[in-house]
Chains A and B, each alone.
Chain A
Amino acid sequence: MKRFLLAFLAAFVFIFFWGWLYNGVLLKDIYVQTSSLWRPQSETMSLFHWIILGQAILVFAFVMIYASGFAGGGIAAGIRLGIMVEILAIGARLMMYAVQPLPGKLVLYWSVGGLIEMIVTGAIVGAIYKPRVSRTP
């Protein structure tokens, strides 16, 4: 439980700062060019708690999946899970691209950023979370 919480916290902190750096700073210009698709900044700030909650749920689910089926494999297993989860998300992103007038380059940048994000998240979770070892008499 302690390891689970530590892995969750470390991954959450990383995802929060990565999201801010990647979306809030690096991709800022693309968001400005497609402003009709986004809330005004002041409105997003008033809904900021949903971003925190969303990231927390996302990280919790990731650590749960890792702890339930991948634990014991360490960093490599965490990275493998991160890659699979991100490709799953890329599938969903392609569907969004089909229905929303998003520029293709934004979908590409999201996917590259998402891959980096999930690989690092997987490595963090894999490095911190260790399954309980059962002692044999």
Chain B
Amino acid sequence: MNPKKLFLAFLAAFVFIFVFGFLWYGNLMHGIHNEVPALWRTEADFGSHFPWLILGHAVMAFFLTMIYVRFVPAGGVASGVGLGIMVALLFIGSNLITFAVQPLTTKILGGWMVGNLLEFAIAGAIVGAIYKPSTTATV
């Protein structure tokens, strides 16, 4: 494991996931989310829970990076995208289950699924581009 590269990859993934989430879920999907206002916190309530949003992003970015390090020790963008797509599928499965139990619209479901796919494929590519394992010198 290469701790310095791991930290850099985590940081870049965290920044990307946070910005993507703000743009995709917070802005592009804002109107769609508001079709079911009962499901969301009020603006003020959301503000007081904002630290949980930051922590959630950080945990997600860190463990995506950790899985990548274990998954493809050799690194590489293509492997990162591959892992990102598989992780997105985990979340898409979870989105479908949520759709069955919460009164989400199909537009919200579709937006979340596409968002997850883009988010994790790109985050995986970023981690794959940055993380390189330590090179051990052979004599």
Contact = CB atoms under 8 A, between A and B. Distances in A.
B19 to A, nearest CB: 14
B31 interface: no
B99 A50 contact: yes
| Chain A residues touching B, majority SS | helix
B38 interface: yes
Contacts, number: 145
A62 interface: yes
Nearest to A47: B100
Interface in A84-137: 84-85, 87-101
Contacts of B89: 57-58, 60-61, 64
A103 to B, nearest CB: 12
A53 B96 contact: yes
A34 B116 CA distance: 27
Contacts of A55: 93, 97
A69 B70 contact: yes
A44 B97 contact: no
Contacts of A58: 89-90, 93-94, 97
Interface of A: 19, 36-39, 43-44, 47-48, 50-51, 53-62, 64-65, 68-70, 80-81, 84-85, 87-101
